[in-house]
Amino acid sequence: MTALSINLNKVALIRNSRQGNYPNIIQMAQHCIDLGADGITVHPRPDQRHIRPADVRQLASLVSPIAHVEFNIEGNPFAEPLADYPGLLALVEETNPDQCTLVPDSNNQLTSDHGFNLRDQGSELVPIIKHIQSLGVRVSLFMDPDLEQIKLASEVGADRIELYTGPYAAAWDTDSHEEIFQQHVAAAKLANSLGMGVNAGHDLNLHNLGKYASIDNLLEVSIGHAFTVDSLIVGMASAMRDYRALLV
């Protein structure tokens, strides 16, 4: 069964729109776990638009003792630390998550929208990947379904890749959808043949997840935006049930 990791960034975005701590991120994470989430994902950014470093630390304390739930921290390892943001690697060193997903997003991006170009950044990532792995943390690289890039992900030492599914979701119900889906199938197959696990994430929802989850050996999907929206419509318990049903 493919693991379902819930990304809490949008919950934090709602909280940050007001003073105080409502909704409480830790309570929401616990609620997700109680309802059957296999993991909790956060993507702290330097501008702290949603998840903050303090959230990362508190979530690590919540999730780490729970053997069947994984904690995944995403982010750009090259983003410069700021006064209230210590940097991704510092947070990983401090909180020791199960997985660190490295993402090539810039500070001014609305959201992650492309995978790594390892022809340009691969050599810079090698020591970072090795350092994170030395902490006992699994490393996943956010990647497009480009076969040459998937080969390079193996060469730089990634344990897993997370396939960027934004274009797959955007092409849903269009003539190009099947072609894009097959690119992901091929990328996942190649990654597996090279000894890497495969995760996926971005804009997956109740409409497009079922087909995507048919990809062989898909280990994890990370879903935040759509899960949050569906929770508003049908309630979190129903949304969790519906997403998990697609991943059996």
Catalytically annotated residues? 43, 74, 202
Q: Which pairing describes strands 99-102 and 3-7: parallel, antiparallel, or unpaired?
A: unpaired
Q: Which amino acid is at 68?
A: H
Q: Are 45 and 107 in contact (CB under 8 A)?
A: yes
Residues pairing with 106 in the sheet: none
Residue with tokens 């409409």: 207
Token pair for residue 214?
């048919």
Q: Are 83 and 52 in contact (CB under 8 A)?
A: no
d(CA 113, CA 163) in angstroms, rounded, equals 11
Q: Which amino acid is at 125?
A: L
Number of residues in the chain:
248
Q: Which residues, in sequence order, are CB contacts of 59 under 8 Å at separation 6+?
A: 8, 25, 26, 29, 40, 42, 71
The beta strands (E) that lie in 88-208 are given as 99-102, 138-143, 160-164, 197-201
Half-sphere exposure (Cβ direction) of 230: Cα atoms closer than 13 Å: 19
Integer Rg of the chain from CA: 17
Q: Are 150 and 190 in contact (CB under 8 A)?
A: yes
